[in-house]
Amino acid sequence: MKLKAEKIGLSLEIEDQLLNNMTENGKIYYPNEFGGFLFGYYTNNNKHLIITDSVLPIKFKSSRYNFERSTEGIEDQLYKFHRESPSKFYIGEWHTHPDSNAIASIADILAMRSIISTPNSCIKNPVLLIIGDSKSKVKFSFYVLYNYNLYKYE
């Protein structure tokens, strides 16, 4: 799947297989939310993002309307991906909205903003994937934080 945030001239791509894996992982915890970390790398003068992997949190809390993950155990993964070729790194987050739409909530926007204000996060434009999972269909929405605002990829 290839998507663009036309307004800011950024794009991304992700394999369908990876999206399916995340969706299946989310279904395990239905009707509660679930999510994880996204990894990938930038190409084309940093205008294009290729999302290659998802890492699931070891510890998390979740309910029907909330998902809070910790970073326990993530450090090893960061270095493992960094040593690969091409070198991959943490680029954002994903989580599910069970029985709901794939639209970013206020909490989601605030969480994305807190990424860029965290020392050492190093990324200026974190990406957010929301999987809106209802019984009849699954919807994916990708967002990127740019100049403190969320832009949706189409």
Partner 1 sequence: MDKSKHLESVIRTHQITKEQQLLDKHIQKKNEVKEALEEKYGSNIYPPFNSGSYAKNTAINTKFDFDLVSPFKRNAFGSNGTLEQMYNDVYDFLYDKYKNEAEVKKQKVSIGLEFYADNEGDVIKIDVVPGREFNLDQYKEDENLNLYVYYRYGNFNSGSERIKTNINAQINNIKDRATKEKDSIRKIIRLLKIWKANKGNYPTKSFFLELITIKTFDNNEITGSLWEKLKTVLEYIRDNVTNENFKLIDPGNSSNDLADTLTTYEKQQLSSDMKNMLERISENEENLKTYFPENEKFKEKESVKNGYGANSGIPIPPPKLNFG
Q: Which residue ranges make up the site for partner 1 (CB under 8 A)?
A: 7-10, 33, 35, 37, 42, 44-47, 49, 65-71, 74-75, 78-79, 82, 89-91, 93, 95, 105-108, 111, 114-115, 118, 120-125, 144, 146-148
The nearest distance, CB 133 to partner 1, in angstroms, is 14
Residues 6+ apart with CB under 8 A from 66: 33, 107
Query: Residue 41 and residue 51: Cα distance in Å, rounded?
Result: 7
Nearest to partner 1 of 17, 87 (CB atom): 87
Backbone angles phi, psi at 59, to 5 degrees: -120, 140
The nearest distance, CB 24 to partner 1, in angstroms, is 19
Nearest to partner 1 of 17, 79 (CB atom): 79
* Contact predicate 26/131, CB 8 Å: yes
Residue 94: closest CA among 54, 145, 152, 150? 54
Nearest to partner 1 of 19, 96 (CB atom): 96
Nearest to partner 1 of 17, 114 (CB atom): 114
Query: Residue 100 and residue 73: Cα distance in Å, rounded?
Result: 30
